[in-house]
Copies of this chain bind each other. A is one copy, B any other.
Amino acid sequence: MAELTVKIPEVKAESYKITIGAQILSSLWPKIESQFPAFNKFVVTDENLVSTGHLKELLGKRDIPTFVISPPGEISKNTNTVIAIIEAMEKAALGRDTLVIALGGGTVGDIAGFAAAIFKRGVPIAHIPTTTVAQADSSIGGKTGVDSSISKNAFGAFWQPAAVYIDVETLKTLPDREYRAGLVESVKHALIADSKYFAFFEGNIEAILEREPKVLEEIAEFNCRIKANVVEADPTEKNQRRILNYGHTIGHAVESASGYELLHGEAVAIGIIGAAFIEIELGIGSKKRLTRIKNILEKLAVPTEMPQKVQKETLIELIKRDKKAINKWPKFVLLDKLGAVHVSQDKWAIDVPQDVVEKVLEKI
């Protein structure tokens, strides 16, 4: 018997740029061309971006092969769509020298990013996120994937973007409920990482709700900086990246228990309130902090109380099936104070007894 060792060489550090601006979409193409001159371009978007006119703004009169996901939304986040995208790329005679450009919300980015990750063993992806969630969160950090009939992101890859372009003007065409729910991820960023950002949110909530470009640009910068810092420290979610999960352990359960009638951000809002109650129970929170958080969420007009139809028992069962803790009680990300996660023995997520969670679920 013989034994050989194969070395897998290190992969050198790289970087990518996030460009943030207002009304930059219609002049973006030449910039993309100058940043990726050696690549053919292929655009993935969905019907929403066609009807809002954003696809046309991006392409102008250019004849670029484009795949329009239809219908838009989670319902198309599956392997059929990915297969259709890749076969469209093949029919357009595209090869490994192709840049995929994802124009749209989180779903478009997840699907297009995954297609780019597996097309002929991987081609680069540029994201142009057009929703509050995608601009704050999903376009940065390289998580891609589609759902199976059994679970979310059952198929996926870590595939870092080659570039991200954020035009905050695209948020103007978002439906109000989606716009506001998406901002919950921004509130989450402020809570886990930056008390000044939270104060900025409090001080500018009217301008935010009115979608003033200047303020939206500042928010985009706060979000990208926070998300980038976390992702740089832990690109494949081994430990620290879990802090982005703040409010999500209860949030995911609420989202599922509502039969997905609640938007993701709305469910996370309730999850954040739950986390704040747990912090009080464990002696690391305060009623004053809870009130500040609740105030801002109420101004966003997202729910801060559990919908009546959601049963506590259902939530407990769903929490036990949390994807981060298969078949066992998950750990929780909690705050020490506004802008700082509670870290215990180098762990960013900690044990919370089930009875404490049950008690808290009664209160919200």
Residues of chain A touching chain B, judged by Cβ–Cβ distance below 8 Å, are: 1-21, 24, 79, 83, 86-87, 90-91, 93, 95, 97, 114, 117-122, 140, 142-145, 148-151, 153-158, 160, 164, 217, 220-221, 224-225, 228, 231-232, 235-236, 323, 326-327
Q: Please, which residue of chain B has its CB at the minimum distance from the CB of A142? A: B8
Q: How many Å lie between the Cα of A2 and that of B225 in the bound state?
A: 12
A3 contact set on B, CB distance < 8 A: 17-20
Contact call A7/B232, Cβ cutoff below 8 A: yes
Chain A interface mostly helix, strand, loop or mixed?
mixed
- Indicate if the CB atoms of B224 and A153 lie closer than 8 Å: no
Contact (Cβ within 8 A) A228 B120: no
Contacts of A149 in B (CB 8 A): 87
Q: Which residues of B contact A122 (CB under 8 A)?
A: 156-158
Q: In the complex where A3-B18, A217-B2 touch, is A86 in contact with B13 (Cβ < 8 A)?
A: no
Known contacts: A87-B148, A121-B145. The answer to whether A18 contacts B1 by CB under 8 A is no
CA distance A239 to B11 in the complex (A): 16
Complex Cα gap A217–B4 (Å): 12
Nearest first, the 5 A-B pairs at minimum CB distance are A1-B21, A95-B326, A11-B11, A10-B13, A121-B156
Q: Which residues of B contact A11 (CB under 8 A)?
A: 10-11
* A363, chain B: closest CB distance, angstroms: 31
Give the chain B neighbours of A120 by CB distance below 8 A.
Answer: 153-154, 156, 323
Q: From the candidates B2, B91, B118, B225, name the one contacting A118 in the complex (CB within 8 A).
A: B118
In the complex the two chains form, is B20's CB within 8 Å of A2's CB?
A: yes
Given A1-B24, A6-B16, A83-B155, 10 more A-B residue pairs with CB atoms under 8 Å apart are A1-B20, A3-B17, A3-B19, A5-B18, A6-B232, A10-B13, A90-B154, A93-B327, A121-B153, A121-B156
CB pair B86 A9 closer than 8 Å = no
- Residue on B with the closest CB to A24? B1
- Closest Cβ–Cβ distance, residue A292 to chain B (whole Å): 28
A15 vs B21: C-alpha distance in the bound complex, in angstroms?
43
A86 to B145, CA, bound (A): 13
Q: Is the CB of B160 within 8 A of A157?
A: no
Question: Which of A12, A157, A220: most chain B Cβ within 10 A?
Answer: A157
A4 touches B21 (CB 8 A): no
CA distance A121 to B10 in the complex (A): 20
Q: List 12 A-B contacts (CB under 8 A).
A: A2-B19, A3-B18, A4-B228, A7-B15, A90-B150, A90-B154, A93-B327, A119-B154, A121-B143, A121-B144, A121-B153, A157-B157
Known: A20-B2, A90-B150, A93-B327. A160 touches B8 (CB 8 A): yes
User: Does A155 lie within 8 Å of B118, measured CB to CB?
Assistant: yes
Q: Are A155 and B86 in contact (CB under 8 A)?
A: yes
Q: Which B residues are CB-close (under 8 A) to A236?
A: 121
Cα(A250)–Cα(B144), bound, Å: 37
For the complex, give the distance between the alpha carbons of A153 and B95 in Å: 12
Chain B residues within 8 Å of A323, by CB:
95, 120
Task: Take A9-B13, A148-B87 as given contacts and tell me if A117 and B4 are in contact as well, using a CB distance cutoff of 8 Å.
Answer: no
Contact between chains at A221 and B2 (CB < 8 Å): yes
A336 to chain B, nearest CB (A): 26
Task: List chain B residues, Cβ under 8 A from A87.
Answer: 148-150, 154
Question: Are A93 and B326 touching (Cβ within 8 A)?
Answer: yes
By beta carbon, the residue of chain B nearest A233 is B9
